[in-house]
Amino acid sequence: MRTQPPEDHVPDSTILDEIDIFAGNCVYMSREQQTVLVIACAISHDTKASGTATRINITGDSECGKSTAMDVGCMLSDNAFMSNCTQAAIRALFNTPDNHTLFVDEASKYFGESGLLGRTLELYKVLCEGYRRIATLSFSVNRVLTSVSCYGVAWTAGIGESVPADVLKRGVRIRMTPKPDNIEKWDTLDESVWATGQSYQTQLHDWVTANHEFLVWFNKNKTRKIHPKMTSRKRQIWGAFFAIANAAGGRWPRLVMDAFLALGIDQQKQKPTINQQIILDTADIIRDNTIVPFITPPFIYTIDLIENLPARDIYENWSEEFLVQALSRALGQTTQHRGKRFNEQSWNGKGRPTQAILKSAKEITEKLYPETEDTEDEFEDELGSPDTEA
Residues 253, 259, 264, 268, Cα dihedral to 10°? 110
Whether the Cβ atoms of residue 51 and residue 243 lie closer than 8 Å to each other:
no
pLDDT score for 364: 79
pLDDT attached to residue 372: 39
H helices of 80-211, where?
Answer: 87-94, 108-111, 122-129, 165-168, 191-210
What is the total residue count of the chain?
390
Residues 149-165 have pLDDT tens digits of: 999 999 999 998 899 99
Q: What is the pLDDT of residue 342?
A: 46
Separation of alpha carbons 265 and 45, rounded Å: 26
> Is pLDDT at 73 greater than 90 in this prediction?
yes
- The amino acid present at 20, given as its one-letter code, is D
In 10 A of CB 349, how many CB atoms?
Answer: 7
Within 13 Å of residue 321, how many CA atoms lie on the same side as its CB? Answer: 0
More confident residue, 320 or 384: 320
Q: What is the mean pLDDT of the chain?
A: 82
Answer yes or no: are the C-beta atoms of 235 and 383 closer than 8 Å. yes
What does the angle CA 171 – CA 176 – CA 180 come to, to the nearest 5 degrees? Answer: 160
Contact 61, 160 (CB under 8 A): yes
| pLDDT given at position 68 | 96
Question: Distance between CA atoms of 33 and 260, rounded to whole angstroms?
Answer: 10
What pLDDT, on the 0 to 100 scale, is given for residue 271? 64
Contact indicator for 274, 329 with CB cutoff of 8 Å: no
